[in-house]
A and B are shown apart, each in its own frame.
Chain A
Amino acid sequence: MTPLPVSIAAAVASFLLLVVVFELIRSRRLRERYALLWLLTGVVLLGLSLWRDGLNTIASWFGVETYPPAILGAIGALFILVVLLHYSTVISRLSDQNTILAQRLALLEQQLREGATELSR
């Protein structure tokens, strides 16, 4: 069985995560689109911290008999991996868009310069 202090600490930590994410959305420092995965992480971890029998059951599925909270860590790590992978795709998209913007801007400047040269003749 999961020691009670571990359950409490895990519940408090995941609740804090939820509060911080909520406040970041509210103050517009985090867009809903990028907050959803974090909220899901917080809700799942909070649920598993509070539902101690459930955590035991899940632990036993994976043959973890001695220390069920290890599963909490594993699930947390899994979610962090998913969030990181998601961010990698986001960064890739951003860098593609950045290239397009730089190219467009350079072409525009070139057009403007040529226009100015023609006018001054």
Chain B
Amino acid sequence: MAELAEVPAPPRDAVLAQLAELKRIAIVPALNEEETVGRVIDEIRDLDPGFDIVVIDDGSTDRTAGIAADRGAHVVRLPFNLGIGGAMQTGYRFAFERGYDVAVQVDGDGQHDPAQLPAILAPVLTGEADLCVGSRFAGGSGYRPSFARRVGIRLFAAVVSAVVRQKVTDTTSGFRAVNRKGIALFAADYPHDYPEVEATVMCVKHKLRLHEVPVEMRERGGGASSITALRSIYYMTKVLLAIFVGLFRRYAVPQEEEHR
């Protein structure tokens, strides 16, 4: 992994020291990830044993929930598959109701390396950002998606950058960190189906500050991607429609007491 050296080293110890003062949680959405979810939990603990971990089991039929519970993670088992949007919002509701200060999203499939969390957390902890996204395209990443994927990624990046009036390179990354404001917003309102792109736009519309930092992602450790070739047309249409309609909605800055 020679490329990793090009990513500027985050002030890891400073971030971890600051983190130790906060109530922090890692939200791990997982659907049939028995091969990887245990390792993901271990790696988060390796970085910072004080991280609470909640695994949202989105209707797995394998041992995902059992493995996560054996490792001492909180496990929320959804009674049936809600899709990644509904699963993530469950995690944010958990984080909101239990009063967490900062939350990170780490996929249960192992593609996100928890060792890179300090880089993503840094802008949130310093107060520069309310939401920080780990981007595969912001810096010298070795990630080379297929042609069709590249077209989609470019299109989303261009559309989202124009809508939020800020350069955004990776709109579909689910490797993110948010502060309490972000937790409150996502607990109250989170997009369905394919949520990352819309969640990014939603944040900026609600006057939350968005940052991107470069990260490396790994190959998926197991399971299957939720986006197959057939679904990608539906995916693109649905997300573009949602962004377009979203332009005509009014937004308010979220308030802590607004819901429950």
Contacts and interface: CB of A to CB of B under 8 A. Distances in A.
B190 to A, nearest CB: 13
Which one of B234, B241, B245 has the greatest number of beta carbons of chain A within 10 Å?
B245
Interface in A91-121: 96-97, 100-101, 104
Interface stretch (A25-33, A51-59, A62-70, A82-90): A25-33
Interface residues of A, number: 14
B241 A32 contact: yes
A100 B80 contact: yes
Contacts of A96: 80
A100 B59 CA distance: 12
Contacts, number: 29
Contact of B245 (A32, A100, A101): A32
B227 to A, nearest CB: 15
B22 interface: no
Most B CB contacts (10 A, CB to CB) among A22, A25, A32, A97 go to A32
A80 interface: no
Given A97-B80, A100-B79, A104-B79, A36 B245 contact: no
A32 B234 CA distance: 11
Nearest to B240: A32
Given A26-B249, A104-B79, A36 B237 contact: yes
Interface of B: 79-80, 192-193, 234, 237-238, 241-242, 245, 248-249
Interface of A: 22, 25-26, 31-33, 35-36, 39, 96-97, 100-101, 104
